[in-house]
Amino acid sequence: MENEQVLLEVKGLQKFFPIRKGFWQRVVGQVRAVDGIDFHVYKGETFGIVGESGCGKTTASRCIVRALQPTAGEIRFRTDDGAMIDIANLSRDELQPLRRQMQMIFQDPFSSLNPRMTLFDIIGEPLLVNGMANRGQRIERVEELLGLVGLRPEFLQRFPHAFSGGQRQRIGIARALALNPSLIVADEPVSALDVSVQAQILNLLLELQGRLGLTYLFVAHDLSVVKHICDRVAVMYVGRVVETAATQQLFESPQHPYTEALLSAVPQPDPSLRSQRIILEGEVADPADPPSGCYFHPRCRYAVDLCREQTPELEEVAPGHAVSCHRALELDLSGTLDAPVPQAMHS
Amino acid sequence: MQNEHQPVLSVRNLKTNFFTDEGVVRAVDGASFDVHLGRTLGIVGESGCGKSVTALSILRIVPRPGRIVEGEILLRQETESGQSQEVALNSLGENSREMRSIRGAEIALVFQEPMTSLSPVHTIGNQIIGAARLHRQLSKQEARELVVELLGLVGIPRAETAVDSYPMQLSGGMRQRALIALALSCDPRILIADEPTTALDVTTQAQILDLLRSLQEQKGMAIMLITHDMGVIAEMADQVVVMYLGRVVEEGPVDTVFGESKHPYTQSLLRSIPSIHSTPKVQLPTITGTIPHPYNRPAGCPFHPRCPDVIPGVCDKHEPELHSVGDEHQVSCFLYHPVPETSP
């Protein structure tokens, strides 16, 4: 990356949800949804957070846009005037001017748009809320945004039900872009779409990034999509980051056994690659009652006594490549790029 | 012993329509394929391509206002004398005794949603015992033993206690395993799995696919795997059927369909998937436009408005049919077979 300016820095972020029981709703435990994560996002890059359901990736992204109040930790965000501000504990009023600099794209284009509002109302609402009172100006801006995401300006007065899933996702993207944000948090933006439409939206996201210099925080479970779009990736497991690295490096030489298993589990659209998959035993640990030591040890085929007793820290093993595994340096794990490159598909 | 080359299930020119107030939806429009014992047939397509309705049609559980309007569904059965005979499922009554004895016992279905297809108020054990005792002469005790064995077979830990748990006490992957155990309880010869792993995480998906493969090896059943995920198809299927808007556009052995796909739809679909091996950050080749709404189905070849190789005056007027283009490889596209002289 040419411009190594940090746009977002997350330090020790925690979000616990209380478990309440009984008539008095006493707090009997905590779900440690996000349990101390650190990462940073450079300006203009796409940073991916991957993991399986329940790993805390969505909770983390919601804390970053302050849709949730984090339990602990710092979220330092570079505002448009260049200052780094910790937004983890700002009040509602203090957040207000910052909100327009970070916007969200949601997963489900069917439930994230109000069916009773026209496209003009949906995309124009953030403009209205942020002080663009002149209707003519708003119409102009909304038309411009529709063009930007590849929709025709005539659609202005239509309702969301008239659009397909892919088009609705474009509407959601236009709404997110309305206020010229610097950071876009995209939570599984393509997982609800059909394969042929998914490619269109991914292309649009890449194109917009090139044109507007956007920074994406891309939350996803689909590793092929992450590989395609992200510059750097963090892999989460039960509320913690287990590995973070540049995308190519992570896929070529994963250092954490969970990353290795995750990569090998992805079915590839090529029958000649029916690989020797690593089938993980058991299930994802319960974030309300995590195992001792390394959370992954009950399912890890390389686990030793140390893994049961001591929690590993996220440590850098190579420049820009951090792993939280006691055995990271001694293990020789296989990535996905060792497999032969398929000839047939991209010829 | 059944002839190995004879399909256990043949679907011929199946057409299932939905007669709604807004018009007729041709959900399945002339699908033909064969299912063989011990092999996996993959049916792949995007939403609205009719893959799930095909499964419902085979089991004769198409919900109203849908109806099978044409075609044959032939199930090969063995008579007591050891001869094989074909039963046309399409001619049986939906609630006839024969159909009810086939449904569940000979052809079983695993649904997509492990969260919603089990009853929340009955234990896993009772649900499977109920199904098993419907089709087999078993005492309660025998049925319970069978269920414990099945739950163990599908990899549910501590099967003796899991029998008495409710679905909500199990995770998504475990519920999907319980559903598979339910489907296996009557030893079906054909297992239809409709998006069995779509609701699951990748590592759980790998577990379930592995389970299906090993069960097939043990029991020699035929699997019909319905999914939208080309990766799952490549991993599991022996034979592949690609569907688009109710029609089979391409059909063939898995290596052929992925390696030498002929239909423009299959080709562009494969190209548009980001792969772990493809170059990152480049624009993906896409299919222009979106899947048409079933009410506004295009005339001629349903794919022609989005097709890069469309032949004007031909593809928008005539409907292509499946033609052989190689060993067991069939394509329905005018690029590969002559245009009919007279309009139909």
Length of chain A equals 347
Tokens, residue B134: 């419907």
Query: In angstroms, what separates the C-alpha of A225 from chain B's closest C-alpha?
Result: 6
Q: Across-strand partners of A186?
A: A105, A218
pLDDT of residue B4: 56
Helix axes B140-153, B172-184, angle to 10 degrees: 130
Looking at residue B341, its pLDDT comes to: 65
pLDDT in tens, B85-121: 888 888 888 888 889 888 888 999 988 776 778 888 9
Largest CA distance in chain B: 68
Could A52 and B278 be called an inter-chain contact, meaning their C-beta atoms sit closer than 8 Å? no
User: CB–CB of A194 and B171 under 8 A?
Assistant: no
Contact call for residues B172 and B142 (beta carbons, < 8 A):
no
Contact between A60 and A37 (Cβ < 8 Å): yes
Tokens for B29? 């429009």
- Give the distance from CA B80 to its chain's centroid: 29
**Largest interatomic CA distance in chain A:** 68
- B234 contacts A269? CB cut-off 8 A: yes
Q: What is the complex's ipTM, to 2 decimals?
A: 0.81
**Maximum mean pLDDT: which of B224-228, B270-274, B297-301:** B224-228
Helix H or strand E encompassing A21: strand A6-21
Q: How many CB pairs under 8 A join A and B?
A: 151
Mutation test of the interface with chain A: which of B115, B174, B201, B211, choosing the one with the most A Cβ atoms within 10 A?
B201
How would DSSP label each residue in A80-112? TTS-EEE-TT--HHHHHHHHTTEEEE-S-TTTS
Distance from CA of A108 to the nearest CA of B (A): 15
Is B138 an 8 Å CB contact of chain A?
no
Query: In which residue are the tokens 């309705």 written?
Result: B53
Q: Which residue has the tokens 């440690």?
A: A32
Residue B149 pLDDT more than 80? yes
Q: Would you give the end-to-end CA distance of chain B in angstroms?
A: 44
Cβ–Cβ < 8 Å for A195, A25: no
Q: How far is CA A274 from the centre of its chain?
A: 29
Question: Rounded CA gap, B230 and B242, in Å?
Answer: 10
> Model confidence over B308-334: pLDDT tens digits?
888 888 888 888 988 899 888 999 999
- CB contact (8 A) between residue A267 and residue B173: no
Give contacts of B229 with chain A, Cβ < 8 Å. Answer: 267
Q: Which amino acid is at B11?
A: V
What value, to the nearest 5°, has the Cα angle with vertex A288 and ends B206 and B168?
60
Q: What is the bridge-based pairing of β-strands B84-88 and B23-35?
A: unpaired
Residue type, B297: R
* A262/B274 CB distance under 8 A: no
Per-block mean pLDDT, blocks of 10 residues, chain A (347 long): 77 92 86 92 94 88 93 93 90 90 89 92 92 89 92 89 89 94 93 85 93 93 90 94 93 92 86 77 82 91 91 91 91 68 40
Which residues 142-181 of chain B have a CB within 8 Å of chain A? 171-174
The confidence score (pLDDT) of residue B242 equals 94
Q: How confident is the model at residue B1 (pLDDT cuts 50, 70, 90)?
A: very low
CA separation for the pair A240, A13 (Å, rounded): 10
Calpha distance B289→A313 (Å, rounded)? 48
- The pLDDT value recorded for residue A339 is 47
Confidence of residue B344 (pLDDT cuts 50, 70, 90): very low
Q: Which of A72-86, A271-285, B189-203, B210-224 has the lowest mean pLDDT?
A: A271-285
Residue B67 has, within 13 A of its CA and on its CB side, a CA count of 8
- State whether the Cα torsion B212-B217-B223-B226 is positive or negative: positive
What is the C-alpha to C-alpha distance for residues A307 and A302, in angstroms, rounded to an integer?
A: 9
Nearest-Cα residue of chain A relative to residue B211? A279
Q: Is B235 on the interface with A (CB under 8 A)?
A: yes
* Residue B168: φ, ψ to 5°: -70, -15
- The pTM of this model reads 0.85
CA-based nearest distance A128→chain B, Å? 32
Structure tokens at A142: 């909304």
Instruction: Classify residue A85 by burial, with Cβ atoms within 10 Å: 0-12, 13-18, 19+.
Output: middle
- Please report, as a single letter, which amino acid is at residue A112: S
Q: Using CA atoms, how far apart are residues A177 and A100, in angstroms rounded to an integer? A: 9
Sequence ranges of the domains in chain A: 116-179, 255-323
Task: Extract the tokens encoding A102.
Answer: 């970070």
| Dihedral-angle region of residue B335 (phi above 0 means left; psi in -120 to 50 means alpha; beta otherwise) | alpha
Paired residues of A29 in beta bridges: A19
Q: Measured between alpha carbons, how far is B43 from B233 in angstroms, rounded to an integer?
A: 8
The CA-atom distances, in angstroms, between B66 and each of A29, A210, B17 are 50, 48, 5
* DSSP-assigned beta bridge partners for residue A112: none
CB within 8 Å of B90: residues ≥ 6 apart: B14, B60, B68, B71, B72, B73
Q: Is B25 helix (H, G, I), strand (E, B) or coil?
A: strand
Q: Which residue(s) pair with A11 in the sheet?
A: A74
CB distance A249 to A321 below 8 Å: yes
The span from the CA of A245 to the CA of A317, in Å, is 10
Query: What pLDDT, on the 0 to 100 scale, is given for residue B40?
Result: 95
pLDDT for the residue numbered A1: 43
- Residue B103 DSSP label: B
Q: B274 — contact with chain A (CB < 8 Å)?
A: yes
The whole-angstrom separation of Cα B53 and Cα B63 is 9
- Give residue for tokens 């699951």: B200
CB contact under 8 A, B275 and A345: yes
H or E element at residue B66: strand B66-78
B259 neighbourhood in chain A, CB within 8 Å = 271-272, 344
CA distance A188 to A50: 10
Q: Which two tokens stand for residue B20?
A: 């709604």
pLDDT band, very low/low/confident/very high, at B241 (cuts 50, 70, 90): very high
Side-chain half-sphere exposure of B117, counting CA atoms within 13 A: 20
What 3 state SS string does B238-254 have?
CEEEEEECCEEEEEEEH
CA-CA distances (angstroms) from residue B124 to A325, B41, B169, B208? 38, 29, 10, 18
- The single-letter code of the amino acid at B294 is P
**B174 confidence band (pLDDT: 50, 70, 90):** confident
Tell which residue, B37, B32, B31, B33, has the closest CA to residue B5.
Answer: B37
For residue A103, the model assigns a pLDDT of 93
Measured between beta carbons, which residues in chain B are less than 8 angstroms from residue A337?
276-277
CA B1 to chain centre: 26
Mean pLDDT rounded to a whole number for chain B:
87
Asked if the C-beta of B268 comes within 8 angstroms of chain A's C-beta atoms, the answer is yes
Report CA Rg, chain B: 21
Q: Are A59 and A33 in contact (CB under 8 A)?
A: yes
- Are B203 and A262 an interchain contact pair (Cβ–Cβ within 8 Å)? yes
- Which residues in chain A have Cβ-Cβ distances shorter than 8 Å to B40? none
Chain B nearest CA to A253, separation (Å)? 13
Is A269 in contact with B273 (Cβ distance < 8 A)?
yes
Contacts of A206 in chain B (CB under 8 A): 281, 283
Segment B256-275, tens digit of pLDDT: 999 999 999 999 988 888 87
Indicate the pLDDT class of residue B68, thresholds 50, 70 and 90: very high
- For residue A27, the model assigns a pLDDT of 86
